[in-house]
Amino acid sequence: MDKPAVSLAAVPGRRHKILEIASEVEARGFDGIFCPSLGDALALCVGIALRTERITFGTSITPIYTRHVVDFAQQAAFLHEISNGRFRFGIGVSHGPVHQRLGVEVGKPLSDIRRFVDELSQVPRVGDLPPVTLAALRDRMTALSAEIASGAVWANAARSRMPHSVSVLGSRAQDDDFFVGNMIPTVVSDDIEAAKMVHRRTLTGYVALPNYRNYWRSAGYEEEMSAIEAALETGDQDAVRSAMSDRWLSDCTLFGPVSAVREGVEAWREAGVKTPILVPSSAAGNQLKALEEVFEAFAD
């Protein structure tokens, strides 16, 4: 089977090791490397550009409010050039709690993204820019990605909802150069209950975000989201995790033995995701153990 892409994060204290792993991801024939906003994703991409030769890589989301657009354009163009066109610039508006922590003032997400992409393209004397991918979730941002960008990437999407989301892209979804990806929380383990518990811990922060709850409601999880909201009001984190049903987890994540995870990757492709991006966690160790488990699951 064609191998999926892999998510790598620049965890402090492991940055040299992560770059070694990036080389291994390429050598093992995975479809790409995509970096979330944890740490400095653009700095990590510079390292990946210099440590790899063939693999496609990029940011799965760089929040647009953290730097000036001129600075973004300069670094994105640099990455595009030194990687010989292998870099994809994934951007997004992030979430309210992040904005508050950073102390940034934001406008309407769609208007802010549209203005950013327009301003990015007009920065002078930076060289050619890479293709831009928008972090999508609900329909309006998805439609905007088809209008002004070269791809869309989801995180923690519901597989059952993906055919609808892809339909919003219209004919752009069929273009060979239009990126359609999803960051999928993944635990490879024969201990299914332990794997589900890892996912419930991982997704606790996401279910606290109203925009994600609204998305999952539209995907058919009204009961789960209402129960989660009730638990959030009382601050009962155990109840929050208990409200994450097995049905919901099975739709939004991958977990279980090797065969189940491999079959799940193919199911995501059948749902319209061209590039499934595995975000590894482990029921038996840290990020490095999780990556080792993914490597073993997709060994030739």
pLDDT in the model for residue 246: 98
**CA–CA distance from 103 to each of 64, 107, 159, 192 (Å)?**
14, 13, 34, 40
How do strand 179-188 and strand 275-281 relate by DSSP bridges? parallel
Angle at 122 between CA 118 and CA 125, to 5 degrees: 150
Return the domain boundaries, the chain.
Answer: 5-188+254-297
Q: Which of 52, 72, 53 is CA-nearest to residue 61?
A: 72
pLDDT in the model for residue 98: 73
CATH number of 5-188+254-297: 3.20.20.30
Contacts of 11 (CB under 8 A, 6+ apart): 18, 38, 39, 287
pLDDT in the model for residue 99: 66
Question: Measured over all CA atoms, what is the biggest interatomic distance in the chain, rounded to whole angstroms?
Answer: 54
Other CB atoms within 10 A of residue 113 CB: 23
Rounded mean pLDDT for each run of 10 residues along the chain, 300 residues in total: 93 94 98 92 97 97 94 98 98 79 84 97 97 97 98 98 98 97 98 98 96 97 98 97 98 98 98 98 95 96
Tally the C-alpha atoms within 13 A of residue 80's C-alpha that lie toward its C-beta.
Answer: 16
